[in-house]
């Protein structure tokens, strides 16, 4: 059978374009967002954009383990924390070693400050930033390997315990590290230690702060785009099918030659890598990171995004990540649905009408959600209570209700484009999952 | 004997005090079509599990193509060329029919994460080959029209055939079929018989099948081994087995209506 | 010489007392996990609820005693009414949670129930600190058990509270042990934990068994909450990290002892309590939580089934 692959081999000169065209598109996309969209939505909007992007990276990377491979990992924030601290310390202490201070040394693409920026697009400081995030990702991946290798042989519930414990252990260890050093430090002072030694001074329970900020909409969404490309390509490949087969039936997968443990560990390491990168981007948003905030509550947030989006759906996880990032802001002071909310609802209704195989359920849900939203606002105004006090309660209730009412989340294991009618799918993918029954052919 | 594709020597396993299989012997020459029968609970599926590595034998040796495989993990045994189907169908339900077969196929074309994400030429070639070969197999098994349907939505008979197609896709030398005809009507069973003989020819397989339908077994198998309470009580050609008093006593087998 | 013996005994006393609390909470985790293979993340919130309800019932009764029957203020009456009240209300809460949040998800994938549990946990935490509930400020639980020193060992005063904690915990643990291994109901629980479907086919009312298991676990957590409120009367608001951390340590105790094993929960609880206090005393108070999690790593690496747990079968 191997001899027949030669006839299918594409021309060698097509290899580089095929590998790299997503990178080019990602750069253009990120630049568009940064230069065109971000200025128009204001500082707060840009913040939300950055936070949503980081959430997308976290949720989609966790989907690889919990969704594709069907494992039970609930310590993802631990990888984020490792990556974030690695990146922050490298940029912080690295800035001092390279430039002699802790200030921003980046170019226009990394400028997070207010006001105009005068300078080149990219500088050495940007190089430091990118390398720092990469190191963060690699450290997280190594941790993923160390944790995954022994524990992925265990029964499902035990993996949950191990990953939960891992997240807490990372937090606790980081919170026990020596104080962060700055220019006023003596014994040891900044000049007394080697670079690796400096990197262990993570600030302990006080957290790490003061690193220059580099994570702009550009870098974050460049990473988002690259992550999505990598993960979608993974899903729509034999590797991805192997992962899905492990999720579906381990014994059958093994009987078909799939090395279960190897695939589980690789998925774990792969997802930890991206979580580490996300952590780096997160830490260098404002230059602050605190392990106490990246404990199991954060891990649970990410798990919720994955499950609400649909276990195994990349687009679902991404969509859920954005919704759940914006929701707390919306719930803080719930705006009225008129006019833009209704426009949005109308668009969603149109999409449901055109593409959803079963229309009644989703449409009723849409109407119900809009009605509940307005009712909630009206009720709160009548009772004279501030909804922002209740936003966590509302969120908690919504979680329980959604789990009971729609356990498969938004898209189940499919992607949003699997709901397009077949004739529309110009990208006749080597997609793993078949279209839902009843979809227009 | 030594050029047999599959050699099983005195394989045994006990679960606690229960001796599930004892001194199981078998020799499967290339191109053969043998049967394994016995009353319910005789240990037939346990024997299959022993051969495929799901259970580790307490004693005995299993050799595939001359190489020892007992004690190895199931995926290694599958890669060595031993494929199987399951008594209770174990398809990848959420995946499409095509993808179920592709999972079987891709074992021969492993690619790492890097070449997958970067879509290297080797990877693309492998994917196309897998796709091509899988479609070919689906045509042989008559499932090409349902290739994009979810496996769990297939009618029962087609699910059984899909499982066999998936197993054949791994490019095995030996194929173990666990009750492939269960739940089929007589016409489907005849089609299945022909299909089994066809794939034996086309893919140069040696096939061992577990079945309860005596008509099917007697018509298709060249040699039959009879298990009862974990032990072999008879072995021979269909005619020999049919008239063996021990078999008749242990297993009042009736041809299925 | 005397001083270090005194420190030793003091650490021992505190470690055992808190360990007994961990054991009670761990029992709740282990009972539910044993039956449903489900980690009830809302369990630590029931514990917090138990502590806060003790405060509310006690404060309410004392207030009523101010302008009502003096019986309500009677210390013996309070010592019975407050825990009974807290336990009863928490058991009701546990029942409702199982009935409305978990039962509908009995056949759903594991992660979905987990999220429902997280939802319940968030609900309890955030509703508890609302103004009309327990409020967002710390509160002092009124003294119910007299602050009496029972006796002294090596210069350490053994208070009534600590003795009460240990005795009540031991009694409850013995009761649960009896329940699970010596009663018909306990047999039903064990049957359900082996195989839910078969148990229901055998005529066991699975819903009832599961409900009662949750209620029992909640009652134990409530008892632990009451005892905790007696020993540490300054209660933090329900959304505070303190409760979560306590619950997490109790969960580690359950895992270390062997999750799903009743005696394991007791053993694990005491062990974790002792490790935490001895570590804090003799190594460093800063890393108080580290010791507990280090033990978790060790156990998970070397013996994931825990001390008394059933073997964790390696996936074929």
Query: Which ipTM did the prediction report?
Result: 0.92
Number of domains forming the structure of chain A: 2
Shortest distance, CA C153 to any CA of chain A (angstroms): 35
Same domain, A349 and A211: no
Say if residue A98's pLDDT is above 90: no
Laid out side by side, the sheet with B223-228 consists of B82-84, B174-178, B206-210, B33-37, B223-228, B231-236
Same domain, A130 and A31: yes
Nearest to A61 by CA among A37, A86, A83: A83
Strand partners, B63: B7, B68
> What is the residue whose two structure tokens read 């005491």?
C270
Closest CB to A1 among B52, B128, B133: B133
Neighbours of chain A (3+ CB pairs under 8 A): B, C
Secondary structure letter of residue A68 according to DSSP: I
Distance CA C160, CA C143 (A): 12
Q: Which domain holds residue A53?
A: 17-296
Residues of A in Cβ contact (< 8 Å) with B74: 251, 254-255
A371, part of any domain:
yes
Are the Cβ atoms of A403 and C290 closer than 8 angstroms? no
CB-based contact (8 Å) between A9 and chain B?
yes
Neighbours of chain C (3+ CB pairs under 8 A): A, B
Same domain, A106 and A234: yes
Same domain, A353 and A259: no
Same domain, A260 and A351: no
Residues of C in Cβ contact (< 8 Å) with B74: 316
Shortest distance, CA A73 to any CA of chain C (angstroms): 10
pLDDT at residue number B2? 53
CB-based contact (8 Å) between A304 and chain C?
yes
pLDDT at residue number B254? 52
pLDDT band at B23 (very low <50, low <70, confident <90, very high): very high
A417, part of any domain:
no
Query: How does the average pLDDT of chain A come out, rounded?
Result: 86
- The first and second tokens of residue C20, run together, are 């007994």
Residue C148, classed as helix, strand or coil, is coil
Length of chain A: 441
Shortest distance, CA C93 to any CA of chain A (angstroms): 15
Secondary structure letter of residue A64 according to DSSP: I
Are the Cβ atoms of A403 and C301 closer than 8 angstroms? no
For testing contact with chain A, the best of B121, B130, B171 (most A CBs within 10 A): B121
pLDDT at residue number B247? 85
DSSP per residue over B155-195, as a string? Answer: -HHHHHHHHHHHHHHT--SEEEEESTTTT--HHHHHHHHHH
Q: What is the pLDDT of residues A154-206, one digit of tens each?
A: 767 778 888 888 898 899 889 888 888 887 777 777 777 888 888 888 888 88
Q: How many CB pairs under 8 A join A and B?
A: 158
> What is the residue whose two structure tokens read 């690496």?
C301
Report whether A328 contacts A388 (CB < 8 A). Answer: no
Q: Which residues, in sequence order, are CB contacts of A321 under 8 Å at separation 6+?
A: A52, A55, A56, A58, A59, A60, A305, A309
Q: Which residues, in sequence order, are CB contacts of A140 under 8 Å at separation 6+?
A: A79, A80, A82, A83, A86, A272, A273, A275, A276, A277, A279
Q: What is the mean pLDDT of residues B48-71?
A: 92
Say if residue A242's pLDDT is above 90: yes
Say if residue A143's pLDDT is above 80: yes
**Within 13 A of C224's CA, how many CA atoms are on the CB side?**
33
Report whether A431 contacts A234 (CB < 8 A). Answer: no
Same domain, A85 and A151: yes
Same domain, A361 and A290: no
DSSP per residue over A175-230, as a string? Answer: TTSPPPP-TT--SS-TTTS-HHHHTT---GGG-B--PPP---HHHHHHHHHHHHHH
Q: What is the mean pLDDT of residues B94-118?
A: 92
Residues of B in Cβ contact (< 8 Å) with A413: 94
Q: What is the pLDDT of residues B181-238, one digit of tens each?
A: 988 889 999 999 999 999 999 999 999 999 988 888 988 999 999 999 899 999 999 9
A322, part of any domain:
no
Distance CA C276, CA A26 (A): 50
Q: Which of A276-285, B220-229, C97-106 ranks highest by mean pLDDT?
A: A276-285
pLDDT band at B60 (very low <50, low <70, confident <90, very high): very high
Distance CA B113, CA B107 (A): 15
For residue B73, the chain C residue with the least C-alpha distance is: C316
Q: What is the pTM of this model?
A: 0.89
C68-99: burial string, b at 16+ Cβ within 10 Å, e else: eeeebeeeeebbebbbebbbebbbebbeebbe
Considering only A86-100, A220-234, A324-338, A395-409, which range has the smallest mean pLDDT? A324-338
Element (H, E) at C61: helix C43-66
Say if residue C269's pLDDT is above 90: yes
Same domain, A374 and A266: no
Same domain, A101 and A214: yes
A143, part of any domain:
yes
CB-based contact (8 Å) between B74 and chain C?
yes
Overall fold of domain B1-81+171-257: Rossmann fold (3.40.50)
Could you say which residues from 194 to 213 on chain A have a Cβ atom under 8 Å away from some Cβ of chain C? Answer: none
Domain boundaries, given as residue ranges, for chain B: 1-81+171-257, 92-165
Domains detected in chain C: 2-302 (1.10.3470)
Report whether B5 contacts B29 (CB < 8 A). Answer: yes
| Sign (positive or negative) of CA dihedral C80, C86, C89, C95 | negative
What is the percent of chain A with per-residue pLDDT over 90, rounded to a whole number?
Answer: 41
Distance CA C39, CA C251 (A): 9
Could you say which residues from 84 to 103 on chain B have a Cβ atom under 8 Å away from some Cβ of chain A? Answer: 84, 86, 90-97, 99, 102-103
| Last residue in a domain, options A277, A296, A315 | A296
Report whether C28 contacts C36 (CB < 8 A). Answer: no
pLDDT at residue number A356? 75
Considering only A217-226, C17-26, C138-147, C220-229, which range has the smallest mean pLDDT? C138-147
Q: Which residues, in sequence order, are CB contacts of A381 under 8 Å at separation 6+?
A: none
CB-based contact (8 Å) between C76 and chain B?
no
- The first and second tokens of residue C72, run together, are 């309500």
């Amino acid at each position: 059978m191997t001899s027949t692959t030669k006839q299918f081999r594409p021309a060698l000169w097509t290899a580089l374009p095929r590998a790299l065209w997503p990178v080019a598109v990602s750069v253009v996309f990120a630049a568009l967002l940064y230069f065109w969209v971000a200025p128009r939505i204001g500082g707060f909007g840009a913040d939300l954009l950055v936070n949503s992007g980081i959430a997308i990276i976290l949720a989609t990377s966790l989907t690889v383990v919990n969704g594709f491979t069907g494992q039970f990992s609930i310590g993802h924030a631990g990888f984020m924390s490792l990556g974030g601290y690695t990146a922050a310390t490298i940029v912080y202490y690295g800035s001092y070693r390279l430039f002699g201070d802790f200030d921003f040394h980046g170019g226009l693409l990394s400028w997070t400050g207010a006001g105009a920026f005068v300078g080149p697009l990219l500088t050495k400081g940007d190089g430091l930033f990118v390398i720092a995030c990469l190191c963060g990702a690699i450290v997280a991946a190594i941790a993923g390997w160390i944790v995954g290798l022994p524990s992925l042989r265990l029964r499902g519930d035990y993996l949950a315990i191990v990953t939960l414990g891992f997240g807490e252990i990372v937090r606790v260890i980081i919170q026990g590290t020596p104080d962060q050093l700055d220019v006023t430090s003596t014994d040891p002072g900044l000049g007394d230690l080697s670079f690796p030694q400096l990197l262990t001074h993570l600030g302990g329970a006080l957290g790490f702060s003061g690193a220059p900020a580099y994570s702009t909409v550009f870098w974050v969404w460049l990473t988002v785009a690259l992550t999505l490309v990598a993960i979608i390509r993974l899903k729509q490949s034999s590797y991805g099918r192997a992962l899905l087969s492990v999720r579906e039936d381990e014994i059958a997968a093994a009987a078909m030659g799939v090395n279960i443990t190897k695939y589980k560990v690789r998925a774990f390491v792969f997802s930890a890598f991206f979580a580490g990168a996300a952590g780096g981007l997160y830490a260098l948003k404002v230059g602050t990171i605190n392990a106490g905030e990246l404990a199991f509550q954060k891990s649970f947030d990410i798990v919720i995004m994955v499950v609400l989006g649909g276990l195994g759906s990349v687009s679902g996880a991404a969509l859920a990540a954005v919704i759940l990032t914006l929701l707390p802001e919306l719930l803080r002071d719930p705006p009225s649905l008129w006019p833009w909310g209704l426009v949005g609802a109308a668009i969603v209704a149109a999409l449901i009408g055109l593409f959803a195989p079963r229309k009644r359920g989703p449409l009723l849900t849409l109407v119900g959600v809009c009605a509940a939203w307005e009712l909630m606002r009206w009720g709160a105004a009548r009772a004279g209570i501030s909804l922002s006090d209740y936003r966590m309660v509302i969120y908690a209730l919504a979680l329980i209700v959604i789990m009971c009412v729609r356990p498969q989340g938004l898209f189940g294991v499919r992607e949003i484009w699997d709901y397009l009618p077949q004739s529309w799918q110009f990208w006749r993918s080597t997609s793993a999952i078949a279209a839902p029954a009843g979809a227009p052919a | 004997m030594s050029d047999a594709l599959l050699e099983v020597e005195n394989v045994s396993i006990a679960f606690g005090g229960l001796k599930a299989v004892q001194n199981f012997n078998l020799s499967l020459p290339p191109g053969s079509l043998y049967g394994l029968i016995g009353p319910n609970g005789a240990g037939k599926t346990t024997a299959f599990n022993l051969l495929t590595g799901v259970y580790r034998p307490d004693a005995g040796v299993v050799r595939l193509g001359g190489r020892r495989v007992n004690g190895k993990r199931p995926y290694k045994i599958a890669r060595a060329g031993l494929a199987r189907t399951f008594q209770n169908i174990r398809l990848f339900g959420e995946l499409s029919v095509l993808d179920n077969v592709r999972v079987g196929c891709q074992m021969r074309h492993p690619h790492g994460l890097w070449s997958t994400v970067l879509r290297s030429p080797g990877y693309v070639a492998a994917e196309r080959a897998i796709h091509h070969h899988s479609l070919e197999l689906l045509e042989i098994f008559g499932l090409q029209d349902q290739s994009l349907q979810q496996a769990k939505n297939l009618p029962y008979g087609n699910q059984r055939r899909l499982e066999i197609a998936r197993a054949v896709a791994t490019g095995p030398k030996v194929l173990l079929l666990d009750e492939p005809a269960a739940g089929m009507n007589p016409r489907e069973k005849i089609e299945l018989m022909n299909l089994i003989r066809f794939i034996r020819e086309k893919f140069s397989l040696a096939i061992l099948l577990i079945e309860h339908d005596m008509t099917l077994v007697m018509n298709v198998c060249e040699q039959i081994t009879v298990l009862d309470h974990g032990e072999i009580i008879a072995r021979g050609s269909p005619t020999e087995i049919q008239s063996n008093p021990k078999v008749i006593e242990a297993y009042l087998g009736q041809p299925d209506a | 010489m005397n001083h270090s013996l005194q420190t030793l005994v003091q650490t021992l006393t505190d470690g055992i007392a808190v360990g007994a609390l961990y054991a009670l909470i761990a029992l709740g985790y282990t009972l539910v996990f044993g039956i449903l293979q489900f980690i009830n993340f809302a369990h630590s919130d029931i514990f917090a609820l138990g502590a806060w309800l003790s405060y509310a019932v006690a404060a309410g009764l004392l207030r009523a005693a101010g302008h009502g029957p003096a019986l309500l203020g009677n210390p013996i009456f309070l010592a019975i009414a407050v825990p009974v009240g807290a336990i009863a209300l928490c058991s009701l809460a546990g029942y409702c949670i199982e009935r409305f949040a978990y039962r509908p998800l009995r056949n759903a994938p594991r992660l979905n129930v987990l999220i429902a549990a997280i939802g319940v946990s968030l609900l309890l935490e955030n509703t508890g600190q609302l103004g009309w509930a327990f409020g967002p400020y710390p509160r002092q639980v009124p003294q119910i058990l007299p602050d009496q020193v029972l006796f002294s060992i090596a210069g350490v005063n053994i208070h009534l509270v600590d003795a009460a904690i240990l005795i009540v915990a031991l009694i409850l643990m013995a009761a649960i042990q009896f329940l699970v291994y010596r009663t018909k109901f306990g047999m039903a629980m064990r049957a359900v934990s082996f195989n839910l479907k078969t148990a229901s086919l055998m005529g066991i009312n699975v819903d009832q068994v599961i409900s009662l298991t949750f209620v029992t676990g909640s009652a134990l957590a409530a008892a632990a909450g009451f005892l905790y409120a007696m020993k540490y009367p300054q209660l933090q608001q329900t959304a505070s990290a303190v409760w979560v951390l306590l619950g997490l340590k109790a969960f580690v105790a359950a895992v270390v002892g062997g999750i799903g094993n009743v005696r394991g929960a007791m053993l694990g609880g005491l062990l974790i309590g002792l490790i935490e206090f001895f570590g804090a005393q003799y190594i460093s108070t800063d890393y108080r939580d580290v010791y507990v999690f280090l033990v978790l790593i060790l156990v998970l690496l070397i013996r994931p089934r825990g001390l008394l747990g059933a073997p964790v079968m390696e996936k074929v």
